[in-house]
Structure 1
Amino acid sequence: MEKRYDFQKHEKETQEFWEREGIYRFSPDAPGRVYSIDTPPPTVSGSLHIGHLFSYAQAEMIARFHRMQGENVYYPFGFDDNGLPTERLVEREKKLRARDLPHADFTELCRETASRYEADFRQLFQSLGFSVDWDLQYETASPETQRLSQKLFLELARQGKAYCREAPVLWCTECRTSIAQAELDTRETDSVFYTLPFSCGETVLPVATTRPELLFGCVCLFIHPENPQYGEFIGQTAAVPLYGFEIPILADEKADPEKGTGIVMCATFGDSTDAQWVLEHGLPTRGVLQKDGRMGEDVPYLSGLRVKQARKEIIRLLEEAGLLLSAEPVIHTVAVHERCGTEVEILPSRQWYIDVLSQKERYRQAADEIVWHPAQMKDRYLSWVENLKWDWCISRQRYYGVPFPVWYCRNCGRPVFASQDSLPVNPVEQPYEGTCACGCTEFLPESAVLDTWATSSVTPLLHKSRGLPEYPLSMRTHAHEIIRTWTFYSIVRSLYHTGKLPWKHLMISGFVLAKRGEKISKSKGNGLEPTSLIREHSADALRLWAANARLGTDTFFSPADLQPEKRFLTKLWNAARFALPLLEDFSPLPASPPLLSADRWILARADEALRSAAFQLSNYEAGQARHEIDRFFWNDFCDTYIELAKERLYSAERQGTDARRAAQYALYHAFFTVLKLYAPFAPHITETIYLEFFRKFEPEPSLHLTRWPQTGEPEEQLLLFGERLKENLSTMRREKTEKGVSLRAEMGCFPIHAEEKLHPLFKEAESDLLSCSHAESLKLLPL
């Protein structure tokens, strides 16, 4: 073997070997129980960063573990390449606006850009050694996925679970599209509580608002029914300051007497409470704000102004008219669109929805029917379900996405739907041929596209449609920030379309943080580029780093964190360079020779490491498994067993052929176990060592197709013997170091402290202990 491990050479060769031999190709007819993984298709919205590597690598280790348990692993990969994120990427890169180009030209730019990024994404995941069957790759904008998305939409529409209505909707004036509740973030901002005088007869009613620019849209004042100060005005009317028109004063318990002045202005629409009030009390709507973020043409004084300009102007006018009672600075929490950070408005608009509010109890039950890893992530999901206020708006007023297979009758406005055998269809390009129930034969196409979550949420159903033999899938993996979107929406879709949950287990990873409280993300531009890190430090080093964190916990990253992992790779390579030459004249195929106590102990310890790591990985704790394996490799195998067995391995003439063969047998099987244990974490170096030596004795073409052996009950006495071995050797080494002598220095008697029941095992290991300690004799003492 080469003196130094050349990771750049061996990682490339190993990846080419896996691809050439089809090591990770899935076949539904292969033996073993199917273990299926629903992997998040990364959004084509910019380059991937170290945070993606962290999350995806943790799940990939689980895939490798299950494959080495003899399971038939279904591990596809996809790319989420339609919708607003891809549009915004193209707009940034090309320095243009989608609305300034012909529709066809812009969508073609999106396709070209998505294809280029997907090639880069795939190359990155391949360079990380992901054991993916790339023949199963999918894209959310592909004809296959479009067909399925449209088919499932039509199914919901027929059942009345997807519906269209004109209603208040969350709206981003920057992206110029409706959005869903799950796409909101919140931000604290400096604002002002303006108190304005509404007139009720001769009485002035002070009303505080942070949105004075919506004064023309005011349709009602609300007072708590038990408000002692203003309750008497309920049922009367009030004049809106500056504009003068009358509005009713109504009672509602949501009007908090302790907030502001205790009288609340309902404008259409200042916030979600306004929208709720309009619905509950049957109030009219008075449009103020347009979809481009400007005030409407019919709004006196403010026509055409943007929100902040309009706010400034209305305050100037109110002050001039003596109609501003006070202005108090406040820190105000506002809802913003997660994609662009723009403050979200609520506007009346016709949109398509999927009913979720009526099924909240079923979604709560779903949480208990899925196994969450880690368990506390279930609370985030339940909190989201509990706080749902809106049905899921699935239509977007954008350009690049999966079209709704819908047209509208020009005469009566009734929607008509595409036939299933015509899918996928684009109504903007393909006219509807048929007759409406009203007799009209002219139809207008739906120009909106499906929300990107409405397409990515069907990935479990996509796998099912491809003939996956088992449903639900075994596991889904993703980071914790999309529990409210991808987890929730996929549960909604699967329950509606199959009556079953989409998966049995959820593996939820944490974030990589750039600094305390700030996650690494594309939008923040603070991510480290993984390709250069792989080129400089190796894929295995990055994977090993990703395995260190406890599942679901956030972690920090610095390139300096890779140094311990690189030292480990050197240690493993050097262990192979020590072990494999000593095994050149050994074959593991004949029956086991008589083993000494140290040999039996290291094999028992290898079994224990397998048991412990398998338990942790079965519970999706790759980090905990890695720590267990490290203890076995560093403390037991390298620091203890190799030092004990060295003389037997090197000197058959002194210890005898049988003793040497026993040590070779233990060395072969213990080191083979080391490779199997590290295979999920460092697949390249372990495969390289396997192909270098073990492949000539083992039937499987790849280490990653070998099995972790089934272990029996722990051999407690041998394991206790090993602990005492390590303790006594550690004491001996410490005493030599304290005396300032070499560890190879001769010594007289080596006192061994151990339980008397272990003395026969120490007696059996006497030659190993004497050679290791360079002692003249042993003295067994009770512990």
Structure 2
Amino acid sequence: MDKKYDFRTAEKEMQQFWEREEVYAYQNGRERKVFSIDTPPPTVSGSLHIGHVFSYTQAEMIARFKRMQGFDVFYPFGFDDNGLPTERLVERVQGIRAGELPRSSFAQGCMDTVKGYEEEFKALWKSLGFSVDWSLEYQTISKKAQRISQRSFLKLAKENKAYMKESPVFWCTECRTSVAQAELDTKDTDSVFYYLPFQTEKEPLMIATTRPELLYGCVCIFVNPKDNRYRDFVGLTAKVPLYGFEIPVLEDEGVVMDKGTGAVMCATFGDTADVEWFHKHKLLYKKVITEEGRIHKEVPFLGGLKVKQARSEIVRRLTEEGLILKSEAITHTVAIHERCGTEIEILPSLQWYIDIMSQKERFLQAADEINWYPEYMKKRYQLWVENLKWDWCISRQRYFGVPFPLWYCKECGKPIYAREEELPVNPLEDKPPHPCSCGCREAVPEAAVFDTWATSSVTPLINAGYWEAGSKEKEILPMGMRSQAHEIIRTWAFYTIVKSIYHTGQIPWKDIMISGFVLAKPGEKISKSKNNASASPSRLIENHSADAIRYWAANAKLGTDTFFEEEELKVSKRFITKLYNASNFAILHLADYKASEAPKLLPADRWILARVNEATVNAKRLLEQYETGQARHVIDELFWRDFCDYYIEIVKERLYQPEKHGEEERRSGQYALYHSLYGILQLYAIYTPHITEYIYQQFFSRYERERSIHLTQWETKEEDQNMLEFGQHLMAVIGGVRKDKAERHVSMKEELPELVITCPAWMVRLYQQTEGDIKACTGAQRIMIRS
């Protein structure tokens, strides 16, 4: 091999070799058992960062591991390129607003934009050496994905699991669309409790509110029936400050007695408690806030103002009238839209829903049918399901997404559904398949699109081509593994489980692998929206190599967050240099290696082979638990300590000087060196695929039958505990000599007149057979072995 490893040349050559040889092509389970992977299709909403590399690379290592365990790995890649995130990217890139263009023009702009980003994403994954079968690639906006997503909806509608109703929904006034409960985040914000008097026939009833702009929307006051302070007020009416109309005082056990004054105004709608009371007590609805985030034009004093402007204005008016008796600065938690950070409003709207509330127990049961890695992540899922309050709202008032396949009769309003054989359809461009059952031939198209999760939730079905000709459902469902980050357990994991149970009657995957985040600083996740990634992945690859980044990505325990600084890649680069140099040394001494039957092995050679076997067994056990980081540390200990620090030093002279130690002893060393290095390269192949393939092609491919190291399989045998114990004792002896010389500040090559070794009786014979190696690496002139 070359004296120095040139990663820039080698990595490109290996990637071209894999593609040319179709090393990672899925074979349809013809000869081997299938392991299928449901990989998260990255959202096309901007450039990828090191956080994406971290989680996607960990999952890719599992794909490589499973392939080297003899599986036919079904490993597709997709792109989530429809919906609000993509719209916002296009708006940002093109400097436009979606509503300012004809819908078809905006949709075409989206298609043109995402194509460029997807090519960029794909190039990055290829440059990282991802072992993807790119013939299985998909896009969530593709005709196939649209067809499967629309068919999913039609089947759920037919089963009454998808339905339409007018009801209060979470609404983002920035994105101008409804959002689901799972798409909410929270943030702490500074606010003010304004204490206002609501006059009754007895005395004023004091109410504390942070949202005085909703006074016009007040429909009642609630107090807790256990609160003695307000018992005499129940059944009375109270006048709303400034507006003067009267509302009733009611009681409900949901009122928190120690919050504010313990009496609360119910306005339509300030928060989810107002919604619950609205339904429970069959209250009136009074419109205050519009879909655009302004106060409705009919609201006195405030009509037309934006919400926060209205709050300032109403506070000014209340102050002038002496109606603010006290104000108190507070910090409270508000719901925001995770996509844009805008505070959420609750507005009544006609939307499409999928029933999830009636099946919560089934979805909780599914959690126990799936293997969660790490196991504690299951609790996050369970808590989410247990605390669900609303069905899943799947309609979005946006432009670039998968259309609802239906129209509404112009006469009676009844939905007219598309025929499954005609999917995908766009009701804005296509005509309904038949007149309405009432006889009317005119129809109004549904203009809303599916929530992007409504399509992402069927990725196992898209991968399988479910309901399609040539479906792979029997081959790959349920899928072997889903990989994803922990913040989308409540969305992607949950919704996929919902759709899979509804359509297939079973869980979508057997295992779920949950990764952590990469943090820019304590508590701050690296994200596209924050633009806080220190360097682009492509630049990091160019400067440090793909293998260096991959090695770093396998440094953390599964599910835990980690920090990233470019400085950390020095460790990876030192490893790559060490692996190449150790391999170069070994191959130099294997130039005349004959791959015949094994010679009689010396104890040190038997030990290193036993250690490789032990590390393989332990790494395999950890990787079956998806612990890529912990498995890497097991392999590192074998390579850095046992192989490099000890074994190479033990065997070196035997390889260099056969005339001193004997040809048979040299052949023993060659055999052990070949098989131990080969085993180490196989173990590292899932982490650093380029350099391991390069070394394999330079030397091992002439002896091994597989055309790529990534098609070889890990082999293990029963552990030889005696040799493992002997090896630990041997390293302790050699380490003791090194320590003694270091403390005496003498050269490691300095001769020792005598070395006394004390060991168990059963090791004496092994030490006697190892005297030549010990003398060579310690400089001992004479060795005394005692038991």
TM-score by length of 2: 0.98
What's the CA shift for 1:710?
A: 2.9
CA distance in 1, matches of 2:349, 2:370: 36
The answer as to whether partners of 1:724 and 1:753 remain within 8 angstroms in 2 is no
Q: Which amino acid aligns with 2:629?
A: G
Question: For 1:331 and 1:564, how far apart are their aligned partners in 2?
Answer: 44
Q: 1:520 corresponds to which residue?
A: 526
Query: Is the 2:188–2:331 Cα contact (8 Å) retained in structure 1?
Result: yes
Residue identity matched to 1:748: P
Q: 1:675 aligns with which of 676, 681, 696?
A: 681
Aligned to 1:488: 494
Native 8 Å contact 1:587 1:697 kept in 2: no
Q: CA deviation at 1:242?
A: 1.6
Which residue does 2:43 correspond to in 1? 43
- Whether the 8 Å contact between 2:419 and 2:433 is mirrored in structure 1 is no
Matches within 5 A, 1:265-344: 265-344=265-344
Does structure 1 conserve the Cα–Cα contact (< 8 Å) formed by 2:201 and 2:236?
A: no
- Contact (CA 8 Å) 1:610, 1:711: kept in 2 or not? no
Deviations 1:201-230 (A, max 9, x none): 242111111111011111111111122011
1:475 to 481, 502, 505: 481
Aligned-partner residue type, residue 59 of structure 2: A
Equivalent residue number for residue 173 of structure 2 = 173
Alignment of 1:194-273 (within 5 A): 194-273=194-273
Query: Matched residues in 1 for 2:307 and 2:64: separation?
Result: 54
Instruction: Provide the C-alpha distance between the structure 2 equivalents of 1:369 and 1:677, rounded to a whole number of angstroms.
Output: 31
CA separation in 2, counterparts of 1:47 and 1:246? 55
* Equivalent residue number for residue 569 of structure 2: 562
1:744: which partner in 2?
A: 749
CA drift of 1:119 comes to: 0.3
Cα distance in 1 between the residues matched to 2:246 and 2:747: 97
SS in 2 for 1:776: coil
Over residues 126-155 of structure 1, what are the superposed CA-to-partner deviations in whole Å (9 max), with x where a residue is unaligned? 000000000000000000000000000000
Task: Give me the identity figure in percent.
Answer: 58
Q: How does 1:29-428 map onto structure 2 within 5 Å?
A: 29-428=29-428
Answer yes or no: is the 8 Å Cα contact 2:418–2:433 preserved in 1: no
Identify the range of structure 1 (365-374 vs 77-86) with the bigger mean alpha-carbon deviation: 365-374
Aligned to 1:707: 713
Equivalent position of 1:758 in the other structure: 763
Q: What is aligned with 2:557?
A: 550
- AA paired with 1:605? R
Counterpart code for 2:781? E
Partner of 2:619: 613
**How big is the shift at 1:453?**
0.7
Per-residue deviation at 1:768? 1.0
Answering whether residue 648 of structure 2 is matched by residue 666 of structure 1, we say: no
CA deviations 1:604-630 (Å, max 9, x no partner) are 111101101111111100111101101
Aligned position for 2:591 = 584
Letter of the 1:474 counterpart? G
Residue type of the alignment partner of 1:246: E
Higher mean alpha-carbon deviation, 507-516 vs 218-227, is at 218-227
Equivalent residue of 1:486, what SS? helix
Structure-2 separation of matches of 1:194 and 1:438:
54
SS of structure 2 residue aligned to 1:563: helix
Cα distance in 2 for partners of 1:587, 1:69 equals 27
**716, 719, 725: which one aligns with 2:724:** 719
Shift of 1:485: 0.6
In the alignment, the residues of structure 1 paired with residue 232 and residue 740 of structure 2 have an alpha-carbon distance, to the nearest angstrom, of: 90
**Dislocated runs of 4+, deviation >3 Å:** none
Deviating more after overlay: 258-267 vs 547-556: 258-267
- Which structure 1 residue ranges, 5 or more long, are not aligned? none
The SS at the match of 1:30 is coil
Whether 1:685 and 2:672 are equivalent positions in the alignment is no
Question: Cα deviations across residues 276-313 of structure 1 (Å, max 9, x unaligned)?
Answer: 11111111101111000011111111110000111111
Q: Distance in 2 between matches of 1:291 and 1:749?
A: 89
The alignment partner of 2:170 has SS state of strand
The Cα shift of 1:653 comes to: 1.7
Taking the aligned partners of 2:255 and 2:737, their CA distance within structure 1 comes to 77
Greater alpha carbon shift after TM alignment, 245-254 vs 299-308? 245-254
Q: How far is the alpha carbon of 1:436 from its aligned partner? A: 1.6
Does the alignment pair 1:728 with 2:733? yes
Cα deviation, 1:56-96, whole Å, max 9, x if unaligned, reads: 01111111011001011110000000000000011111111
The Cα offsets for residues 462-509 of structure 1, whole Å up to 9 and x where unpaired, read as 122241413211110011111111011111111111110101111001
Task: Name the SS for the 2:229 alignment partner.
Answer: coil
Displacement of 1:5 in angstroms is: 0.5
- Point out the more displaced range, 140-149 or 754-763: 754-763
Looking at structure 2, the residues matched to 75 and 233 of structure 1 have their Cα atoms a distance apart, in angstroms, of 66
Tell me the matched-pair count.
Answer: 780
**One-letter code aligned to 1:721:** F
Query: What CA deviation, in whole Å up to 9, does each residue of 1:529-574 have, x standing for no partner?
Result: 1000000000000000000111000000001100011011001110
- Measure the CA separation in 2 of the matches of 1:720 and 1:161: 62
Query: How far off its partner does 1:433 sit?
Result: 4.1
SS of the aligned residue for 2:265 comes to strand
- CA offset digits 1:172-191 (Å, max 9, x no partner): 00000000011111111111
- 1:431 deviation in Å? 2.1
Q: Distance in 1 between matches of 2:782 and 2:278?
A: 93
- Residues 433/613 of structure 1: CA separation in 2 closer, same or farther (3 Å cut): closer
Answer whether contact 1:10 1:688 (CA < 8 A) is retained.
yes
TM-score, length of structure 1 as denominator length: 0.98
Aligned twin of 2:632: 626
For residues 634 and 238 of structure 1, the distance between their equivalents in structure 2, rounded to whole angstroms, comes to: 78
Q: CA deviation at 1:112?
A: 0.8
CA distance in 2, matches of 1:39, 1:771: 52
Structure 2 vs 1, CA of residues 241 and 432 (structure 1 numbering), >3 Å: closer, same or farther? same
Residues of 2 paired with 1:121 and 1:44: CA distance? Answer: 9
Give the Cα–Cα distance (whole angstroms) in 2 for the partners of residues 167 and 622 of structure 1: 46
More off after superposition, 244-253 vs 386-395: 244-253
**CA offsets, 1:621-658, max 9 Å, x none?**
01111011011111111111111111221122222211
C-alpha displacement of 1:690: 0.2
1:353 touches 1:394 (CA, 8 Å); kept in 2? yes
